Homo-oligomer: A and B are copies of this chain.
Amino acid sequence: MADLSVRIGSLTLKNPIIAASGCFGYGVEYAKAFDISTLGGVAVKGLFLNEREGHAPPRIVETPAGMLNAIGLQGIGVHRFVAEKLPELRALGATTIVNVCGTTIDEYCEVSRVLSDHEGVHAIELNISCPNIKEGGIQFGCSLLGTHDVVSAVRKVTSLPLIPKLTPNVTDPASFARASEEAGADAVSLVNTFLAMAIDVETRQPKLTNGMGGLSGPAIRPIAVRMVYECRRAVKIPIIGMGGIATVEDALEFIIAGADAVQVGTANFVDPFLWQGLINGINAYLDRHGFASVANLVGQVRSR
């Protein structure tokens, strides 16, 4: 039995397997299916200060080995979250990572401040990378300065582990990891979805009401692995890798490329019971290959 724990700033995760934001509701929805306290973490749906409707359906469309989504960050807002969902998450023993959104730096700070005042929030994942909303998000995530500014501003208002979530829609994600590290982030997570588009050739309209959407799923895995590999060489802080993970091998690929922990999103839609198998499989691999801890495997890619 290898040591599966992962340290992220002041937080210690049971294991490196985290449910990805927007793919696991508010966590509570899955509690009837299995014990979500067994997960390394639960990243809940992105939250703004106030309730938000998101985009009109259709919001998803399937693509080769992937899917596009343009949910538009529908959410109940941070105040209803702490009142209605957080107590249940605490009762369930979940390691709760809250995905924080904003249209302005002030909103990011305000949401983070509210969360910091409540028991049961274990970390903040700063969503500066949602490709599906006009204002906010990506506008910070695609500018090094914007990234630095929003991360350092939020850093000032919270002592919770702070994890900026990076977009893959840039030339050099590693530079954004570096900017986040310099701004005081405890870790970075990547990748968010790839800005993409699907058109119905019969109607000649986009298949999504929003026009564009974010590509996720196995299709993007090789690009995401490359980006995690590049970031590992650019920063010392922990990296939470994701993008198309569906199997134990997929998760190991990210860890070997440089991820300290991983998130699983789209694959949870296909198999909401995959979690225990991932955790057991990583443990079995570590034992088989003689690693005392998952930490020892991080970034252990060997050149050919």
Residue of B nearest to A195 (CB): B226
| A256-B204 contact in complex given A66-B219, A170-B171, A219-B220, C-beta closer than 8 Å | yes
A209 cross-chain contacts in B, Cβ below 8 A: 304
| A204-B65 contact in complex given A196-B223, A197-B229, C-beta closer than 8 Å | no
Q: Is the CB of B218 within 8 A of A64?
A: yes
A188 cross-chain contacts in B, Cβ below 8 A: none
Residue of B nearest to A67 (CB): B222
A interface: dominant SS: mixed
Q: How many copies does the complex hold?
A: 2
A204 cross-chain contacts in B, Cβ below 8 A: 256, 300-302
**Whole-angstrom distance between the alpha carbons of A226 and B209 in the complex?**
15
**Please, how many residues of chain A have a CB less than 8 angstroms from a CB on the other chain?**
47
A252 at the interface (CB under 8 A from B): yes
Scan A209-253; emit 1 where CB is below 8 A from any B CB, else 0: 101110101111111011001000000000000001000010011
| A201-B302 contact in complex given A66-B65, A226-B196, C-beta closer than 8 Å | no
Q: Is the CB of A252 within 8 A of B219?
A: no
Chain A residues near B (Cβ < 8 Å) = 63-66, 68, 142, 169-171, 194-199, 201, 203-206, 209, 211-213, 215, 217-223, 225-226, 229, 244, 249, 252-253, 256-257, 285, 300-304
